[in-house]
Amino acid sequence: MDKTQIERLQQKALLIRRDLTEMLFRSASGHWGGSLGLADVFTVLFFGGILRYNAKKPEAKDRDRFILSNGHIAPLYYTVLEHAGFFGDKKPALRKIGSPLQGHPSHTHLAVVETSTGPLGQGVGVAVGKAIALKMQGSSARVFCITSDGEHEEGSTWEAVASAGKYRLDNLIYILDRNHVQISGTTEDVGNLGNIGARYRDLGWEVLEVNGHDIGKLLRLFDSFKYKSRKPRIVIARTIMGKGVKQIENDYHYHGKAPSEKEYLMAMAELK
C-alpha cells in the first residue's frame, strides 16, 4: 500500500458516488443515503485487491462470496459491479421493467448476485449457511457480508451471529455499516441496539472497528484478513449516511429517497 494506491482508490470512490447519484436521478427511485455512505468500503473491497473475483468467470469456484444483506443500497452495488467489468459494454437501467438491476439485488435477474436480498436480516443468515457449506467442501473461499445497524433489530440476525460463533466460521467476515440511521430515524430512537461490538464478542466473534471513510485504514485492516483467525470477524465501519453530499449527510429522510433535479445538480457539483 502506498500514497498512489490510496489516491487512486479515493478517486474511484468519488467516481462511484457520482455514477450512483446519476443512476438514482435517472430512475427517480432508490436509496441514496446509504449508498453514498458505504462507497469507500465497497471501493476498497472490490478495487483494493481484497475480494477474490473474476468478472469474466463470475461463478468461479474459488471466488469469494459477497452478500449484500442490506439490499436497499443496491445502487452502490450495481455501480461497483459495472466498474468491475461485470456488465461488459452494457449499461442496464435501474428499476426498469426487464432490467437485471432490480430495486433490491435479485439472483434471478442477475447471476453474479449470490443471493437475493431485501428483507432485512435475511442475508446475514445466508452468509452463515454459505460459510458452513464452504467449510464442508474444504474450500479456501471466504464469505463477505455487508450488513446494516438497523437490521440488528431483527431477531434472526442474532440467531445467525450466535451460530457463526458456535461453529468458529473463520471464513466469514461481516462488515457492519454503523451510521446510526434507518428509514424512520436514528437507531437510538427506533430501537435499543446497545453495545453491538460487545454482543458480538460475547458470541465468539473477533470484533474490529474502523473509520469507514479512511481508505488507508480500510486497506490495512482488510489486508489483515489474509491471516487466519479461529473466529468469524466483524468490522464495525463507522460511516456517515450520505457521505460526500453535505446537504443530506445524516438526514434519515434520504434513506430511501432519490435526488430531485435540484439535489442532483447540487450533488454533482460537490462530487467533482
In 10 A of CB 168, how many CB atoms?
A: 15
Spatial distance between the Cα atoms of 216 and 130, rounded to a whole number of angstroms: 30
Please spell the DSSP secondary structure of 147-164, one letter per residue. Answer: EESGGGGSHHHHHHHHHH
pLDDT on residue 117: 92
Say what the pTM is: 0.95
3-270 belongs to which homologous superfamily? Thiamin diphosphate (ThDP)-binding fold, Pyr/PP domains (3.40.50.970)
pLDDT on residue 182: 83
pLDDT in tens, 190-225: 888 889 999 999 999 999 999 999 999 999 999 998
Q: How confident is the model at residue 139 (pLDDT cuts 50, 70, 90)?
A: very high
Cα atoms found within 13 Å of the Cα of residue 260, Cβ hemisphere only: 4
Spatial distance between the Cα atoms of 213 and 216, rounded to a whole number of angstroms: 9
Residue 15's H or E segment, with its range, is: helix 3-27
pLDDT on residue 160: 97
Whether 137 has a pLDDT exceeding 80, the answer reads yes
pLDDT on residue 208: 97
pLDDT in tens, 165-181: 999 999 999 999 999 98
CA dist 245 to 61, 233, 266, Å? 39, 31, 8
List the beta bridge partners of residue 147.
176
Whether 185 has a pLDDT exceeding 80, the answer reads no
Whether 104 has a pLDDT exceeding 80, the answer reads yes
Q: What are the residue ranges spanned by the domains of the chain?
A: 3-270
pLDDT on residue 248: 94
